[in-house]
Structure 1
Amino acid sequence: MIKHFLSFEWKQFVRASYFKKGLFVKIILALVVLYFSAIALGLGLGAFYIIKKAMPESDPLVVVSNYLMYWFLFDIVFRFFMQQLPVINVKPLMVLPVSRNQIIHFLLGKTIISFFNALPLFMFIPFSVILILNGYNVLGVLSWLTGLIFITLSINFTNFLINKSNTVFYVVLTVLVGGIGLEYFHVFKISQPLGAAIYGLYKFPLAVILPLVLLLVLYVVNFKQVRSGFYLDDVVSKKIKEVETSDLSWLDRFGTMGPFLKNDIKLIWRNARPKQVLMVSFMFLFYGVIFFTNEKYEQMPAILAFAAMFVTGGFLISFGQLIPSWDSEYYKLLMSQNIKYKTYLESKWYLLAVVVVISFILSTPYLYFGWKTYGMIAAGALFNIGLNSFITLFGGALNRTPVELNVKAKAFSNMQGFNPTQMLIAIPKLVLPMLFFYVPYKLINFEAGIIALGLSGILGIVFKSFFLNQIEKIYQKGKYNTIKAYAQKH
């Protein structure tokens, strides 16, 4: 039966309408996988000798065991945002004489075949081989390696639960934040007992039973949760849920743009994919902390300008790049109405601009780093409103890939709506702010760079009508091709 399941999966993969369209993306992802695999392999091969050279008095195995807590913490967070959980089309199978248990076991087994589970092996296996070559107990090393594999798979099934249950998500989040808080404020170094426990897998090989039991428990919990809703009635019946309404009448003051603004706000509020993107865009507010707290970037002000643009441009970059794909499910209806294309585009511009302003207000804590830093963020916000917004809208005219609003996929890893053209459009978004800042900075001073960056955005706002007219012509020219593209189901 497993052979049949694998055959179905392969046929579904190669026969899908999006197979060739997504081939470029798959090649890029494959290169990314190879890149990170090479880095992990290098760390695995070199970690023992690096630690021996830097800390000759320390046992490399003890050092690695103590720091593995941070790796597992990163693994949990990374999986939550990036790992796309596998799915299987169960409707045809439910009416066939196929055991539900076999289907569920196959589904859970698919989660094991993942790059996120394979990546640690590129580090742990070479490191374990080097340990054995340097005289460490073979049984102890194999127990340590096997235990880490069980822990990695346990994180895999924990992520499955987190994605399926809000309760589990909040419990895991509370534990992680609590542990980090205790470690950061030196209340209790939770890394020490956890490191000792991981090292104990080497000292006491029978201890490998503990992570194995944890893995089996998580597998059983996942199995029961999936099986509890594995009924044909649940799959084919339509769920009735109460839709929350809100008074958006205050948007009527925007005239003909009001209905579009209301539609976008409701779209974000009611659908899974836009909500995920909104959450991701909020995280961009913390992007500047990486750069503004690092002294080495003070010698690279152009990079600081790049970071300042990102602080307020999260929504514009993540949500804006999929305009007008967000409306793909009813785009034909929109285009059949007696409305001006410019009005539609202008409503999108106002939405992006308002969120940039809100992001700038939320970035006020960056005043802690000084007025120069905050001035750079302000200039980056003006650049986002005055230029990046129009570049984003222009890119939308070339993006004809539809988006399903309620596909519960990871906001980072979901490539639905992705177009290789977006990669080219992203270049001026990233390069221009650095260029506008760096040239005046080099010729005059730091303040001149901030003024030039902000002024470029102000000029864009002044000539808003001109830019929108030019972009409207491009949208009008490709209108029917866009409608045709959105009509194709992936």
Structure 2
Amino acid sequence: MVKKFLSLQWKEFVRSSAFQKGIAIKILLVLAALYFGGCALVLGIGLFFIVKKTVPDIDPIIVVNNFIIYWFLIDLLFRYFMQQMPVMNIKPLMIIPIKKKTIIHFLLGKTTVSFFNILPLFIFIPFSIVLLFNGYSALNVILWFISIVAITQALNFLNILVNKSNTVFYITVALLAAFVALEYFQIYAISEFFGMLFNGLYNHPYLAIIPIALACSLYYLNYNYLYKRFYLDGAISKEVKEVKTSDLSWLDRFGTLATFLKNDVRMIWRNKRPKQVLFMSCMFLFYGLIFFTQDVYREMPAMLAFASLFITAGFLFSFGQMVPSWDSEYYKMMMSQNIPYRQYLESKWYLMVLAVLVSFILSTPYIYFGWDIFGMIAAGASFNIGINSFVTLFGGALNRVPVELNAKAKAFSNTQGFNPTQLLIALPKMLLPVLLLYIPYFFFGLTTGIICLGVSGIIGLLFRNFFLNKIEQVYQKGKYKTIAAFGEKK
């Protein structure tokens, strides 16, 4: 049966309307996986010697056990955003005689071989081998390694359960921040406390039964959760909620575009996924604190330009890159109406421009770091409005991954996943402004670089109609491909 499931998923992949694009993306992902896997392998081989050289008075296994808690917390955060449960088109399978438990076991089993579970092996397998060659007890090392693998799988199954809740994410971020603060300000050595627990796993090999039992328990909880909800009506019915209205008459000043803008504002306000994107875009406002507070970056204008760009680009990057995927659930209906494509795209553009302007106003406190820094932020905002907004809209024409605005269960939905195409489109948006500032800075100074970056955005605005017309042509050309791709989610 497993072989049959794999065959079905392979046919789904090769028969997809985006098959050729999917192959290119898969190749890029494989190359990225090989790169990160190679880095992890080098780290695993050299970890013992690096720790021994850095902290010669402490046993390397003790140091690793002391700080491994940070690895697991960061791992859980990355899983929350990037790891999605491998899915199948389960609805057709619900009406044919295949046991529910067989399908659920297959779904859960696929998650155990994800990239996030394999990457730690490239670190801890060579590290364990080095320990064995340096005379450490084979029984202790092997069972300690098994414990680490079990904890990694436990995080995998925990992510499936908590990925539907933002509360756990906030708790994890708060814990990580609190641990780092306690350690940094030398209030309490939290690493020693957790080091005692993980050292216990090494010193007492029989305790490996605890993480193994934890992983098995979380597997059972996932199985039980999915089994109870594995019904056709539960898979296709939508949750009915009370709709709250709000006064959006202030948008009427945009004329014929007001209808589109009101729909987007309501969509963001009423649905879970857009709300998450809005919250994450607000976090971009604090991006500059990473760079502007460090003296080492003062002599690195390219990095400062990079940071300045991101401060006002949070909503543009996170929301704009998924146009028109936000409307995928009713895209067919929209395209069957007499709706001018130009107005649809122009409304999205205005929404992104408005977000950049609001972000720029909220970034005013950065004047504290100097007028040159605030000038970079202003130039970055100009570039985001005049250039990046159009590049983002153009990239949307290549993004045909549907989005479920208020998906209840990510375990049965891959529409919330990260689309690697977005990363490819993001490269020119991030590299071009750095070059526009750095090249004039190198020859004429920082002020000239800031002016060039800002003027590039103004020039882009002068060609606004030209860019929107070209983008409209791209969307019109791929209109039916987009409709077909959005229809594949059902």
Aligned to 2:418: 414
Aligned to 2:251: 251
Q: Is the 8 A contact 1:400 1:485 kept in 2?
A: no
Measured in 2, the distance between the counterparts of 1:324 and 1:5 equals 31
Give the letter aligned to residue 108 of structure 1. Answer: L
Give the letter aligned to residue 199 of structure 2. Answer: Y
| Larger displacement relative to structure 2 (447-456 or 112-121) | 447-456
Q: Deviations over 1:2-48 (max 9, x none)?
A: 44444444443444443333111111111111111001000000111
Q: Deviations over 1:151-209 (max 9, x none)?
A: 11111111111113456556555555554554455443322111121122221111112
TM-score by length of 1: 0.88
> Residue 34 of structure 2 aligns to a residue in which SS?
helix
- The answer to whether structure 1 residue 141 and structure 2 residue 126 are counterparts is no
Q: CA deviation at 1:315?
A: 1.7
Q: CA deviation at 1:347?
A: 2.2
Q: Is the 8 A contact 2:346 2:468 kept in 1?
A: no
Q: Of residues 458, 469, 482 in structure 1, which corresponds to 2:465?
A: 469
Q: Is the 8 A contact 2:281 2:318 kept in 1?
A: yes
Q: Deviations over 1:259-314 (max 9, x none)?
A: 11112222333445434433443333333333334433322212211221111112
Aligned to 1:483: 479
Give the letter aligned to residue 434 of structure 1. Answer: V
Q: Deviations over 1:238-259 (max 9, x none)?
A: 4333333322122112111111
Query: Counterparts of 1:278-297 in structure 2 under 5 Å?
Result: 278-297=278-297
Point out where structure 1 has 5 or more consecutive residues left out of the alignment: none
Q: CA deviation at 1:326?
A: 3.7
Measured in 1, the distance between the counterparts of 2:335 and 2:9 equals 37
CA pair 109-485 structure 1, distance change in 2 beyond 3 A = same
Aligned to 1:27: 27
Measured in 2, the distance between the counterparts of 1:460 and 1:364 equals 24
Aligned to 2:403: 404
Measured in 1, the distance between the counterparts of 2:230 and 2:28 equals 35
Measured in 2, the distance between the counterparts of 1:479 and 1:127 equals 51
| Larger displacement relative to structure 2 (338-347 or 353-362) | 338-347
Measured in 2, the distance between the counterparts of 1:168 and 1:430 equals 31
- The answer to whether structure 1 residue 357 and structure 2 residue 357 are counterparts is yes
RMSD: 2.9
| Larger displacement relative to structure 2 (475-484 or 57-66) | 475-484
Give the letter aligned to residue 474 of structure 1. Answer: K
Q: Is the 8 A contact 1:325 1:399 kept in 2?
A: no
Q: Deviations over 1:410-443 (max 9, x none)?
A: 8995218x37xx83x5454233322332244334
CA pair 468-205 structure 1, distance change in 2 beyond 3 A = same
Aligned to 1:47: 47
Measured in 2, the distance between the counterparts of 1:292 and 1:12 equals 48
Q: Deviations over 1:371-420 (max 9, x none)?
A: 33233212211221223223333444x5363533436578995218x37x
Aligned to 2:304: 304
Aligned to 1:116: 116
Q: Deviations over 1:350-375 (max 9, x none)?
A: 21111112222333443443333233
Number of equivalences:
481
Q: CA deviation at 1:136?
A: 0.6
Q: Is the 8 A contact 1:150 1:211 kept in 2?
A: yes
CA pair 223-376 structure 1, distance change in 2 beyond 3 A = same
| Larger displacement relative to structure 2 (78-87 or 295-304) | 295-304
Measured in 2, the distance between the counterparts of 1:345 and 1:236 equals 31
CA pair 96-318 structure 1, distance change in 2 beyond 3 A = same
Aligned to 2:91: 91
Measured in 2, the distance between the counterparts of 1:152 and 1:279 equals 28
TM-score by length of 2: 0.88
Point out where structure 2 has 5 or more consecutive residues left out of the alignment: none
Measured in 1, the distance between the counterparts of 2:457 and 2:324 equals 23
Query: Counterparts of 1:36-435 in structure 2 under 5 Å?
Result: 36-165=36-165, 168-169=168-169, 172=172, 175-176=175-176, 178-180=178-180, 182-327=182-327, 330=330, 334=334, 341-396=341-396, 398-399=397-398, 401=400, 403-406=402-405, 413-415=417-419, 418=421, 423=424, 426-435=426-435
* Identity level (%): 53
Give the letter aligned to residue 398 of structure 2. Answer: N
